[in-house]
Amino acid sequence: MKIGLISDLHTDVTPLNKALIPYLIDAVRAAKLDVLVIAGDLARHLVQLSETLNAFYMADLACEKLFVPGNHDIWAIETADVTSEQKCDIISQLCYECEFRPLMDQPFVTEQIAFCGTIGWYDYSFAPEGYDFSDAQYAEKELMGAVWNDKRYAKWADTDPAVTQRFEVELEAQIACVRDDVSRIIVVTHHVPFRECIQYRGELPWDFFRAFMGSKRIGACCLREPLVTHALFGHVHRSVDMQLRSVRAICAPVGYLYEKPTVDLKTYAAQCLACFEV
């Protein structure tokens, strides 16, 4: 089975991000994938998110299409009273309409391989070493005049650690419901499952904000289950492909295209898409 991974398309950030979509679709078609995984952060507004999902739907790709939302996707900014939980439900419905399988709703199984997914979130367990910031300071998501925008737009019903634990429990439940019927499990998250996949610089405020990259709980969940062979994720805006004990961790982001890539968009799209076989 050939699997393709992409994340962090951010089609609402720059015109180049939006212009890249047809080239990404061409890259997916050329790769002749069996499964395409998009690991979150399409767009903060539902209109742009829906347009992006629909572009892949209208392309009539032959592969299965799987999705987990990212933190930008669940930002509750459409109306004053919408919550991030409600936005997750809306995103799931948009996925079904565009023939994407929303992995947060349920795992997807094909050819004895299960894909289990969650957004992931963070509990400050990836806070940088060498500093003495408290959990209360991380919860504020502000330092030296910089603000992590989840503070403004992520509207969960609970604290970050509680939300992270809830998603971990849901992921464990997905794994439990498929483990007896499959030969392999691939976990898909938006947030980072392993500290080793994060770059610390030894400077502030950069290192402070690495606390919002993900959670060791998700990585531990992957490592506890012998059937989990891959952890696919996004969020860090740099390519990652490393073996961490029994799990291969892969990230294949587009990121923010504030400047034109040094290669043409067709080549850049093909470079962004990570493909592997199992």
pLDDT tens-digit profile, the chain (278 residues): 999 999 999 999 999 999 999 999 999 999 999 999 999 999 999 999 999 999 999 999 999 999 999 999 999 988 778 899 999 999 999 999 999 999 999 999 999 999 999 999 999 999 999 999 999 999 999 999 999 999 999 999 999 999 999 999 999 999 999 999 999 999 999 999 999 999 999 999 999 999 999 999 999 999 999 999 999 999 999 999 999 999 999 999 999 999 999 999 999 999 999 999 99
Tokens 């898909």 belong to which residue?
Answer: 188
Q: Residue 158's domain spans which residues?
A: 2-277
Each residue's pLDDT tens digit, 80-95? 788 999 999 999 999 9
Q: What is the pLDDT of residue 78?
A: 80
Q: What is the pLDDT of residue 80?
A: 77
Amino acid at 277: E
Q: 91-115: buried (b, 16+ CB within 10 Å) or exposed (e) per residue?
A: bbebbeebebbbbbbebbeeeebbb
Helix and strand numbers (H, E) in the chain are 10, 13
Is the previous residue joined to 205 through a cis bond, with omega within 30 degrees of 0?
yes
CA gap 83, 81 in Å, rounded: 7
Instruction: Output the CA–CA distances (angstroms, integers) from residue 254 to 11, 16, 128, 170, in the order listed.
Output: 10, 11, 25, 28
Q: What is the pLDDT of residue 135?
A: 97
Domains held by the chain: number: 1
Q: What is the pLDDT of residue 193?
A: 98
Q: What is the pLDDT of residue 79?
A: 79
Instruction: Output the CA–CA distances (angstroms, integers) from residue 199 to 230, 239, 275, 278, in the order listed.
Output: 20, 12, 23, 28
Looking at residue 18, which CATH number applies to its domain?
A: 3.60.21.10
Whether 48 and 14 have beta carbons less than 8 Å apart is answered as no
CA gap 158, 133 in Å, rounded: 21
